[in-house]
Amino acid sequence: MGVLCGAGALVMSALSLIIVRRLRLVHYTLLTLSYGIAGTIESLSLASATRVLDHPHGIKEWGFLTSLILALFLSEAFLVLALKFEKAGPVSFQLVFSVVKIERFEKV
């Protein structure tokens, strides 16, 4: 199941990058907002359907949640801006490098 979800995420990520690339004239805040709204609806519906929806417990988990929200927002904003102003090559390099960074930091 994990492999299928990973493959689905890869396909959807590629599709969303292609669509964002075609929407160069749309302001990046609108694109980032649409990513956020779609991600929130998707996450809440999947968490509700699988009955794993739970709120953070304690100040440490709320801090992690706040950091995650900020990091994801900035990541999407920078990705959208990169796709608007650059060719797809540097952006694809950044995405591959982010997977390598995740593997490295996850072991720490």
108 DSSP assignment: -
> Residue 60: what pLDDT?
93
Euclidean distance between CA atoms 32 and 75, whole angstroms: 10
DSSP 24: T
The DSSP symbol for 27 reads -
| Rounded-to-integer distance, Cα 76 and Cα 73, Å | 5
Those residues of the chain that have pLDDT short of 70 are: 1-2, 5, 86-108
pLDDT score at 62: 92
pTM above 0.85, yes or no: no
Neighbours of 35 (CB within 10 A): 19
Instruction: Tell me the DSSP string of 42-74.
Output: HHHHHHHHTT------HHHHHHHHHHHHHHHHH
Q: What is the pLDDT of residues 20-48, one digit of tens each?
A: 777 778 877 787 788 778 878 888 888 88
**pLDDT the model gives residue 56:** 83
Q: What is the span of the domain harbouring residue 41? A: 2-106
Total structural domains in the chain?
A: 1
